[in-house]
Amino acid sequence: MSPKEFRIAAIPADGVGREVVEAGKTVLDAIEADGGGRFAFAWEEFPWGSDYFAEHGRMMAEDGLETLQAFDAIYFGAVGWPTVPDHVSLWGLRLAICQGFDQWANLRPVRFLPGIESPLRKADRTDLDWVVVRENSEGEYAGFGGHTFASREGRGEVAVQSALFTEVGCERIIKYAFELARTRPRKKVSSVTKSNAQQYGMVLWDRVFQRVAADYPDVETESVLVDAMSAKFVLQPEELSVVVASNLFADILSDLGSALAGSLGLAPSANLNPERRFPSMFEPVHGSAPDIAGQGVCNPIGAFGSAAMMLDHFGLKAEAEGLDAAIEAATAQGIRTRDVGGTAKTAEVTEAVIANLPARR
Ligand code: NAI
Ligand code: MG
């Protein structure tokens, strides 16, 4: 039988993004080697990011999306460097891909790992495990707005930044959240808005939520305002299973979630085009971390978890579970980077995870 080949576009981009993508490729190559020839990963790496910008005046090649279309998935690092304004680098690469490929569902699991201390005391005696489902195509990141009177800087410059909510956009992400909830031990969806103050878009979201919920009588629901939800993350996290929120709110809440799990460096994510018309993109939640980049000390666990989500997307369920188990085994052994209280280098965590893959234990 010829192996099933998965074409993966690697975009390490900037800072620690390069280190964690390198580490993730090493782990995935080990998984391929353990696969007994059943599947293979064909990698191509793209040099896009802030250095590319310095040379070409753009964050990615002009035909970048056309090139990426041919791949089964994109494995992304992080984008952003002090040499390029953050809104230029983010819109020029990560958001260009997410929006260009209609990756409208962004899954961000919040996982508590053995051997990693959470700032929540509750985490020691409670099983905590929830997933943030982020609307990834519109909302506050629709790029809708403008500014004027720029020449009056300091004397009345004006900017408008609008959030865009569509019924179709709300409905598809909310349905996705309900379907996901059905696959989890606790069948519950918490919807997050701020519809008391944001009386148009978020009221539409709430209405769609109620309508969709009626089709899922087996799933518990709650609607929580975002400020209250941030408190709930800290005080009653055991009440959470699937948390669905707009682009901005879910972005913020997922950073809070990963900090509660112990570090921003732990959190994985998947930007999915559920219809599979376009490639989906897998990336750690964290940014390029310029403060620690280039030292070989960043935490690769978020990138490994993202690789596991990519394996799952490929239908390699056993390999995805094996990688997640290997991550847990490595942290349980106390092999941890600095951000989670250890002394291990990125490469040592990588070796430990590989050593704990099912075929190697
Ligand atoms: P950041 O996530 O890069 O860093 C925040 C803090 O978390 C820093 O103290 C950093 O050292 C730490 N951290 C992040 N990843 C880590 C890892 N793997 N291991 C250990 N510690 C880690 O966020 P920040 O500082 O706000 O942004 C830096 C740059 O990254 C900016 O240019 C920003 O625009 C960009 N960014 C890009 C994202 C993406 O590509 N998806 C997401 C967030 C920010
Ligand atoms: Mg973020």
Q: What is the pLDDT of residues 90-107, one digit of tens each?
A: 999 999 999 999 999 999
Our answer on whether the CB atom of 303 is closer than 6 Å to any ligand 1 atom is no
| Domain boundary assignment for the chain | 1-112+269-361, 118-261
Structure confidence by residue, pLDDT tens digits, 243-262: 999 999 999 999 999 999 99
Our answer on whether the CB atom of 299 is closer than 6 Å to any ligand 1 atom is yes
Our answer on whether the CB atom of 342 is closer than 6 Å to any ligand 1 atom is no
Mean pLDDT of 100-126: 94
| Three-state DSSP class for residue 277 | coil
Our answer on whether the CB atom of 286 is closer than 6 Å to any ligand 1 atom is yes
Q: Whose CA is nearest to atom 10 of ligand 1?
A: 289
155 has a pLDDT exceeding 90: no
Structure confidence by residue, pLDDT tens digits, 159-202: 999 999 999 999 999 999 999 999 999 999 999 999 999 999 99
361 has a pLDDT exceeding 70: yes
Q: Whose CA is nearest to atom 17 of ligand 1?
A: 265
Cα–chain center distance at 219 = 24
Among 77, 132, 75, smallest CA distance to 280 is for 75
User: To 5 degrees, how large is the angle CA 55–CA 60–CA 65?
Assistant: 155
Q: CA 113 → CA 77, 215, 263, 267, 322, distances in Å? A: 22, 34, 11, 11, 15
Q: Which atom of ligand 1 lies nearest, measured to the CA of 255?
A: 2
* Spacing, Cα 19 to ligand 1 middle (Å): 13
Q: Which atom of ligand 1 lies nearest, measured to the CA of 86?
A: 34
Our answer on whether the CB atom of 345 is closer than 6 Å to any ligand 1 atom is no
Pocket probe for ligand 1: among 48, 91, 288, 301, the residue whose CB has the most ligand atoms within 8 Å is: 288
1 has a pLDDT exceeding 70: no
d(C-alpha 250, C-alpha 244), whole Å: 7
* Spacing, Cα 279 to ligand 2 middle (Å): 21
- The interface predicted TM-score of the complex, written ipTM, equals 0.98
Percent of the chain as helix, strand, coil, to the nearest 5: 45, 20, 35
Ligand located closest to 50 CA? 1
Structure confidence by residue, pLDDT tens digits, 214-227: 999 999 999 999 99
Ligand located closest to 259 CA? 1
Ligand located closest to 20 CA? 1
Q: Which atom of ligand 1 lies nearest, measured to the CA of 298?
A: 19
Our answer on whether the CB atom of 293 is closer than 6 Å to any ligand 1 atom is no
Structure confidence by residue, pLDDT tens digits, 305-315: 999 999 999 99
Q: Whose CA is nearest to atom 30 of ligand 1?
A: 287
Banded model confidence at residue 147, pLDDT cuts 50, 70, 90: confident
Our answer on whether the CB atom of 287 is closer than 6 Å to any ligand 1 atom is yes
Among 67, 64, 70, 77, smallest CA distance to 25 is for 77
pTM of the model: 0.96
Ligand located closest to 132 CA? 2
CB-facing half-sphere around the CA of 358: CA atoms within 13 A: 12
Q: Whose CA is nearest to atom 43 of ligand 1?
A: 287
Q: CA 244 → CA 14, 112, 134, 236, 358, distances in Å? A: 29, 19, 6, 17, 33
Our answer on whether the CB atom of 18 is closer than 6 Å to any ligand 1 atom is no
150 has a pLDDT exceeding 80: no
| Three-state DSSP class for residue 72 | coil
Our answer on whether the CB atom of 262 is closer than 6 Å to any ligand 1 atom is no
Which of the listed CATH numbers 3.40.50.2300, 3.20.20.150, 3.40.50.12280, 3.40.718.10 matches domain 1-112+269-361? 3.40.718.10
- For the chain, what percent of residues have pLDDT higher than 70? 99
Query: pLDDT at position 93, please?
Result: 97
Which of the listed CATH numbers 3.40.50.2300, 3.30.365.10, 3.20.190.10, 3.40.718.10 matches domain 118-261? 3.40.718.10
- For the chain, what percent of residues have pLDDT higher than 90? 93
Same fold, 1-112+269-361 and 118-261: yes
153 has a pLDDT exceeding 80: no
Catalytic residues: 141, 194, 227, 251, 255
Average of per-residue pLDDT values in the chain: 96
Structure confidence by residue, pLDDT tens digits, 349-358: 999 999 999 9
